[in-house]
C-alpha cells in the first residue's frame, strides 16, 4: 500500500526551490528529484509555485483538458491583486511526471508573474486525473452564504451588476467582463450598502419588472448618486407596484415595457430603461418613449 511521504521541512512554511543561473533548469531538476522519490510513495509538500516552476509543469502537460482563457485571466487578476488565497487545493503531478491537475493555476502564475503558495502532490497514477473536480462547484452565492450573508444568491447577482457598472459602465452576462468570486466577496464586504439595497427590494412583484438583482443595482446606484433615499424608495415602490402612476409617466412606461418584454430584455437593457425612467422622473418629464440604445449605461442624474 502506498504511503504518503511528507518532505516539507519547516511545518507550514512553503519550501523554496533553490535558484541557479537558469530558474527553469533549476526548477526542472528540483521537480525531477521529487518525481524520483514518488516511486516509493506519494510525495506531499507546500511550495511557492513560481513562474519558472509553472513553466516546467506546463511543459509536461500532454492530453489535458482545453484551456479556458477566461479562467486564466480571472485567476491571474486575483493573484496580481493579492486576493488569491491558499486553500490547500493541490497541484498534482502523476508518478510519471505529468501534470494531472493545475494547468489553469500554472498559466495564471505566468500571466500575473506572481508566485502563489500551493500544496504539491506527486505520485498518483496518470489515469487518476479523470476523477478530479467531481464535486459540486461552489458559486459566488455559496461563498457569501458561508461568510454569513443572507439572501446570498440574489446578493451575489446584485453585487456583480454593481461591480460591472462601477468598473465597466455597463452590465453583461459575458464571461470576459464578469468579476471573479473574490472580487465580488471583496466588493460586498467593502460596500455593505449593496446588501441594504437588496433588502429594500421585495420579492413579490420584482420579477415582473426586471428582477431583484437589477432593481437592487438600480436602488444602490440611485441612492449613491442622488443622496435621497426617500425619493429612491418612492421610485422603486411605484415601479414595482404601479401605484398612482399617471399617463405618460416615465415610471409607468418603464414598468409596462419591462413587463411586456419580460424574458427578452437583457440585463443591460433593463438597467438602461430603469435609469432613463429615473432621470426623466427626476426632471419631471412626460414621455411616450424611452429609447434603449445599448452600450454604456446613461449617467444617473440627481
Q: Where are the domains of the chain?
A: 4-126, 140-283
118 in helix, strand or coil?
A: strand
DSSP 261: T
Residue 216 to residue 36: CA distance in whole angstroms = 56
Domain 4-126 has CATH 2.60.40: no
Would you say 277 and 290 are in contact if contact means Cβ atoms under 8 Å apart? yes
Q: Are strands 116-122 and 90-93 parallel, antiparallel or unpaired?
A: parallel
Question: What pLDDT, on the 0 to 100 scale, is given for residue 5?
Answer: 41
Q: What is the pLDDT along the chain (302 residues), one digit of tens a residue?
A: 344 444 444 445 666 555 556 899 999 999 999 999 999 999 999 999 999 999 999 999 887 778 889 889 999 999 999 999 898 899 999 999 999 999 999 999 999 999 999 999 999 988 766 565 544 567 889 879 988 999 999 999 999 999 999 999 999 988 889 999 999 999 999 999 999 999 999 999 999 999 999 999 999 999 999 999 999 999 999 999 998 999 999 999 999 999 999 999 999 999 999 999 999 999 999 999 999 999 999 999 99
Q: 47-57: buried (b, 16+ CB within 10 Å) or exposed (e) per residue?
A: bebbbbbbbbb
Other CB atoms closer than 10 Å to residue 290's CB: what's the count?
18
Partner residues linked to 15 by β-bridges:
47
C-alpha dihedral (267, 207, 162, 76), degrees to nearest 10: -70
Region label for 151, one of left (φ > 0), alpha (ψ between -120 and 50) or beta (otherwise) = left
Which alpha helices (DSSP H) does the chain contain, by range?
23-37, 51-58, 69-80, 103-112, 140-146, 152-168, 181-190, 193-199, 212-226, 229-241, 250-260, 267-283
Would you say 281 and 250 are in contact if contact means Cβ atoms under 8 Å apart? yes
Which grid coordinates belong to 106? 500554472
Residue linked to cell 511521504: 5
119 in helix, strand or coil?
A: strand
pTM more than 0.85: no
Rounded alpha-carbon distances, angstroms, from residue 118 to 16, 24, 106: 12, 18, 11
Residue 142 to residue 153: CA distance in whole angstroms = 7
Question: What pLDDT, on the 0 to 100 scale, is given for residue 62?
Answer: 85
Partner residues linked to 119 by β-bridges:
46, 90
Amino acid at each position: 500500500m502506498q504511503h504518503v511521504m511528507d518532505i516539507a521541512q519547516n511545518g507550514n512554511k512553503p519550501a523554496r526551490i533553490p535558484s541557479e543561473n537558469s530558474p527553469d533548469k533549476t526548477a526542472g531538476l528540483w521537480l525531477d528529484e521529487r518525481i524520483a522519490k514518488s516511486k516509493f510513495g506519494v510525495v506531499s509538500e507546500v511550495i511557492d509555485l513560481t513562474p519558472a516552476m509553472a513553466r516546467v509543469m506546463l511543459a509536461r502537460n500532454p492530453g489535458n483538458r482545453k484551456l479556458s482563457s477566461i479562467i486564466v485571466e480571472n485567476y491571474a487578476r486575483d493573484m496580481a491583486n493579492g486576493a488569491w488565497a491558499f486553500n490547500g487545493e493541490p497541484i498534482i503531478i502523476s508518478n510519471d511526471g505529468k501534470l494531472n491537475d493545475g494547468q489553469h493555476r500554472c498559466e495564471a502564475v505566468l500571466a500575473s508573474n506572481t508566485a502563489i503558495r500551493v500544496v504539491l502532490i506527486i505520485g498518483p497514477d496518470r489515469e487518476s486525473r479523470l476523477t478530479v473536480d467531481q464535486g459540486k462547484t461552489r458559486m459566488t452565492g455559496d461563498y457569501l452564504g458561508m461568510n454569513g450573508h443572507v439572501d446570498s444568491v440574489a446578493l451575489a447577482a446584485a453585487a456583480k451588476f454593481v461591480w460591472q457598472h462601477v468598473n465597466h459602465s455597463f452590465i453583461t452576462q459575458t464571461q470576459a467582463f464578469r468579476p471573479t468570486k473574490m472580487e465580488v466577496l471583496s466588493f460586498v464586504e467593502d460596500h455593505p450598502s449593496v446588501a441594504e439595497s437588496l433588502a429594500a427590494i421585495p420579492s413579490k412583484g420584482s420579477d415582473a419588472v426586471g428582477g431583484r438583482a437589477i432593481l437592487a443595482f438600480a436602488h444602490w446606484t440611485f441612492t449613491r448618486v442622488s443622496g435621497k433615499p426617500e425619493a429612491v424608495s418612492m421610485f422603486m415602490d411605484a415601479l414595482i407596484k404601479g401605484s398612482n402612476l399617471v399617463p405618460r409617466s416615465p415610471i409607468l412606461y418603464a414598468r409596462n415595457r419591462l413587463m411586456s418584454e419580460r424574458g427578452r430584455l437583457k440585463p443591460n437593457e433593463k438597467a438602461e430603461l430603469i435609469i432613463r425612467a429615473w432621470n426623466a422622473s427626476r426632471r419631471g418629464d412626460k414621455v411616450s418613449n424611452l429609447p434603449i440604445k445599448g452600450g454604456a449605461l446613461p449617467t444617473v442624474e440627481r
